[in-house]
Amino acid sequence: MKSYIVLLAFLATVILVNASKRHHHNKFSSSEHSGKCPRRKFCGKGKECRLNSQGQPQCFCIEKCPDSGHGTSICGSDGRFYPSHCHLNRYNCISGESVSIDSHGTTCGSSGKLSNHPLCSPEEFEILKDNLLLYNHEHLRSLDKEPNGKDYLLSLMFSHFDQNNNGGLDYAELQNVMAEDEMEKLAPPGCSLTHLFQFEDADGNDIIDLNEFYVAFNKLYSLNVPAVSLISLDKAVEVTHITAQVNDNVELKCDVTGIPPMRFIWKRYEVDLSTQDDHQIRVFSDGTLYLSNIQLLHSGNYTCHGERNSHVVQTHVLTVQAPPDVHVSPHIIMKKPGTNVTMFCRVTGGEPAPTVQWLKNDDPIIPDDSNNKYIIAKNNVALTILDVYFSDTGAYMCEAKNSAGRRIDITSLVVVAGSTQGEDQDSLHEDSKDEVNGFFVFHEKGISIYDPNDCRLMHQIQATDIIPGTQDYVCLNEQVPECIWGTSIKVSTSYVYVTQPTLDRILIISISQMVVVDVVTTDRYPVELSYLTHLDQVWVQCWRSVENRGEKTLQVIRDAKEKKKHHTVHPEPINSHFDVVENLFLPANTKSSSQFHYGYVTHKNNRGFYKLDLIALRYVKSIDLTLWNCVPETVQFSGLYGMIIIECREPVTGRQTGEIVFDALTDSVIHYKGDRFGKPYLSPDSRKLVTVSHDTTGTTLLVQRLTANGLQFSFDVKTSLNISLVAFYPSRTSHTYDLFASSVDKLDVLFVDLETGKVEMVTGFIHSSIPKSKLSTSLFPWNKPEERPISSQSLFSNYLVTRSQESVYIINGNTHTVNCQIGGLVAPSLILWI
């Protein structure tokens, strides 16, 4: 009896709604009238002629197909059975698709049921129903101010859909509503209102009655999908901007609302952040995204939406700022009156880009054209004081500031009368008394250390020297009559590490003592070295044979800068044995690399790589790049925006397959350029990317800027030089970097201003071309004869160094001239600044 009363009340509500419907906007009225068409009016398959609301003949989708009667179904190319040809043609008309007849029945299977690839899945149809509730709540309720409630909303919707007021919904009515109300945007791909017949037509009569309609919007599916909810988001907070500083903790709230409360999904580049194994990223049960100790790589867009509705999305744009670092040189200057003095300033880091100015005792220095006392170089990279007097004594500060903070560094100028110690020198560094300014050259007879100012030999370690505390020579033994070097690196200000592949060891040289202080034994043929300052680790790649066969073992030296006996450890074994890898990719040894806690490892001819925890020394996940046919060849880590740039090649053939921009936070591909070939080089400030590619006519250098939106083209340089390697050099007109590039077959060096695109050739070398290598490729495969190394020193150094097969050349980076040449060396292979 109780159910009967409820049903009567329900029907009364529907009658009231139908009665009130004629007072609504005319778009809710029936769009067609019954009536016969002239016989000459012809409609295509799946259509029939009926009179429209103006009484004119018009083709509509067939309202209802006759019962086939014979029980034979038609197999469609979409994997579905249709009762008759009429039903298939009617479906094509309603859905707008082109399903054909599969005469062989192969797509439908033998079960006589729908195939496993429905056009609209139950989950997707649930999303459509959610969106319909939200849409109609906003549109229908604005036209009717009667009491609210979900049942009342559903009654309004049914009344609106039932255009012929017959108490049931047919295909034509639902199709017309979708078109008239432009509801396509509410539906996931492949879904429409007409799928009510697939999922909700309980009695299979091709009519959705009132009861079926109510059940459809209130039922629970077997997949534990909760009851449909109303989801909304205020347009004012659809995109939210958040600014934070490095090392801050950030809490992001999702402003999407729904009844009942729902679980929220947080994403970055379409990756669900709750699936990320990262202690800095946490998604709490209340839908809050918490980012701890954020770094520059956390900048970017974060989106949130309800678990069952991915169409109502809020975007949080996180901008991470960092204060700049300022360095001046020299720190102390003593001058006599009447002389000129120049001091230099270098600003590194800083996001956004900082402004720079010079101050004297906290007061800004403004050049005065009337007396020309001060000359400030472009972008404040240098300050020159002319004709100094006693009153010029003071603290000269280089100040850099942005919205994240202000930083200064100070040069103290003391003007003194008479003769002073060092008065003939331009400056005295207070912090350089114990600092060695020079470079190591590793050659066949040992190690030589030179002064770049005049190419003076400062120290020499002979191959026949005995390593202190041992009975071993620096190089020589019975099997190897000369020094064979692999790779050398500088570890902090304390040591130089260099590999000796044929001796299966690493020499550790004290920079202050200029002597070998430790020997570390390794696996067979240690060649490549990398140093991570923030972890104080040296990573060793051992080739296991003379040739690079892509079968290397990895070893790590911890506490590399500490004064102690060092040894190696392996990363965590896989399946009880140490992993054999093709390549190891680590961030460059710069300040910004401290935010990277992972490296990447590739295996021979494997499309993709493994993510390696650099602290725990174990693999955490594999990353598949098969879709881009990519075996990583070169990887550059950008401290800005968390971008990783990957040069790709094809397995086996080695053919280049393009360039990938990868997100370090989510391990997802952001951009892919299938026609971008060449080896990428990233400037130390992560602001510029230079891609070097070769063809039969020469070399192309493509220069791009790194922005929050990806890589932005700046310019390209085409040269007939066969470029070998490049080095970044601190610009003398800005706080960024310029580029010098060596050639394979000529001694000339190419200079490129990466801000303006200006190109210049450094000439003046004694030999115009490089003589053929005397090195045996089979004996020295790790020192490629075709590669000609070139490197710069520090922020305030004036020099670069490069080599030929028997000489080393010092280049003045400011004047773009050859400063001096060191000859008589036997096969110099490695050069390292200290």
Residue 532: predicted pLDDT:
95
Which tokens go with 512? 């202050």
Residues 302 and 244: their CA atoms lie apart, in Å, by: 14
End-to-end CA distance of the chain: 95
For the ranges 183-197, 399-413, 507-521, which has the lowest average pLDDT? 183-197
% of the chain beyond a pLDDT of 90: 53
Residues 233 and 312: their CA atoms lie apart, in Å, by: 7
Average pLDDT over residues 792-796: 86
% of the chain beyond a pLDDT of 70: 82
pLDDT band at residue 27 using 50, 70 and 90 as cut-offs? very low
Residue 805: predicted pLDDT:
81
Q: Which of 529, 522, 555, 520 is nearest to 442 (CA)?
A: 529
Give 204's contacts (C-beta < 8 A, 6+ positions apart). Answer: none
More confidently predicted of 181 and 727: 727
Give pLDDT tens digits for 287-326: 899 999 999 999 999 999 988 778 889 999 999 999 999 9
Neighbour tally for 331: CB within 10 Å: 17
- Amino acid (1-letter code) at residue 559: D
Residues 50 and 34: their CA atoms lie apart, in Å, by: 7
Residue 332 has pLDDT above 90, yes or no: yes
Which residues pair with residue 613 across a beta bridge?
598, 618
Residue 799 has pLDDT above 90, yes or no: yes
Which tokens go with 791? 């490197």
pLDDT band at residue 445 using 50, 70 and 90 as cut-offs? very high
CATH class, range 232-320:
mainly beta
Give pLDDT tens digits for 467-516: 998 889 999 766 667 899 999 999 999 999 999 999 999 999 999 999 99
Average pLDDT over residues 698-727: 93
Residue 382: predicted pLDDT:
95
Which residues pair with residue 624 across a beta bridge?
608
Count the residues in the chain. 834
More confidently predicted of 778 and 627: 627
More confidently predicted of 210 and 179: 210
- How is the beta sheet containing 281-283 ordered, strand by strand? 250-252, 289-291, 281-283
Residue 119 has pLDDT above 70, yes or no: no
Residues 183 and 131: their CA atoms lie apart, in Å, by: 9
Which residues pair with residue 240 across a beta bridge?
316
User: How many Å is the Cα radius of gyration of the chain?
Assistant: 37
DSSP string, 296-337: GGG-EEEEEEETTEEEEEEEEEEEEEEEEEEEEE-SEEEE-T
Residues 706 and 681: their CA atoms lie apart, in Å, by: 12
Give pLDDT tens digits for 351-374: 999 999 999 998 999 887 766 889
The answer to whether 784 touches 790, Cβ cutoff 8 Å, is no
Residues 227 and 285: their CA atoms lie apart, in Å, by: 20
Residues 525 and 780: their CA atoms lie apart, in Å, by: 11
Which tokens go with 245? 């500083």
Taking the model in full, what pTM does it have? 0.73
Residue 149: predicted pLDDT:
61
Give 556's contacts (C-beta < 8 A, 6+ positions apart). Answer: 537, 538, 539, 540, 568, 569, 570, 571, 617
The answer to whether 330 touches 408, Cβ cutoff 8 Å, is no
For the ranges 113-117, 253-257, 304-308, which has the lowest average pLDDT? 113-117
Residue 8: predicted pLDDT:
34
Residues 750 and 763: their CA atoms lie apart, in Å, by: 9
Residues 472 and 466: their CA atoms lie apart, in Å, by: 6
Residue 776 has pLDDT above 50, yes or no: no
pLDDT band at residue 534 using 50, 70 and 90 as cut-offs? very high
Give pLDDT tens digits for 565-597: 999 999 988 776 788 999 999 999 888 888 899
Residue 36: predicted pLDDT:
60
Residue 110: predicted pLDDT:
42
pLDDT band at residue 39 using 50, 70 and 90 as cut-offs? low
Residue 111: predicted pLDDT:
40
Residue 21 has pLDDT above 90, yes or no: no
Residue 202 has pLDDT above 60, yes or no: yes
Element (H, E) at 634: strand 631-637
CA 123 to chain centre: 32
Residues 543 and 551: their CA atoms lie apart, in Å, by: 6
Residue 329: predicted pLDDT:
93
- Amino acid (1-letter code) at residue 623: I
For the ranges 187-191, 315-319, 351-355, 623-627, which has the lowest average pLDDT? 187-191
Residue 480: predicted pLDDT:
67
For the domain made up of 330-415, give the CATH fold: Immunoglobulin-like (2.60.40)
Residue 115 has pLDDT above 50, yes or no: no
Q: Which of 73, 107, 65 is nearest to 197 (CA)?
A: 65
The answer to whether 430 touches 438, Cβ cutoff 8 Å, is no
The answer to whether 302 touches 266, Cβ cutoff 8 Å, is yes
Q: Within a 13 Å sphere around the CA of 32, how many CA atoms are in the beta-carbon half?
A: 22
Look at the block and give the residue holding tokens 């202050």: 512
Q: Which of 321, 319, 275, 323 is nearest to 300 (CA)?
A: 319
The answer to whether 447 touches 440, Cβ cutoff 8 Å, is yes
Which residues pair with residue 810 across a beta bridge?
801, 820
Residues 568 and 554: their CA atoms lie apart, in Å, by: 10
Residue 430: predicted pLDDT:
43
For the ranges 40-49, 171-180, 457-466, which has the lowest average pLDDT? 40-49
Which tokens go with 196? 């009510």
Which tokens go with 447? 């190690």
Which residues pair with residue 48 across a beta bridge?
60
Q: Give all strands (DSSP E) within 492-547, no chain letters.
A: 495-500, 505-510, 515-521, 526-532, 537-542
Residue 25: predicted pLDDT:
38
Residue 2 has pLDDT above 70, yes or no: no
Give pLDDT tens digits for 628-670: 999 999 999 998 888 999 999 999 999 999 999 999 999 999 9
Give pLDDT tens digits for 70-98: 445 677 777 666 777 787 787 777 766 77
- Amino acid (1-letter code) at residue 815: T
Average pLDDT over residues 124-148: 69
- Across all residues in the chain, what is the average pLDDT? 83
Which tokens go with 227? 């009851």
pLDDT band at residue 435 using 50, 70 and 90 as cut-offs? very low
Neighbour tally for 627: CB within 10 Å: 10
Residue 813: predicted pLDDT:
93
> Which residues belong to CATH 2.60.40.10 in the chain?
232-320, 330-415
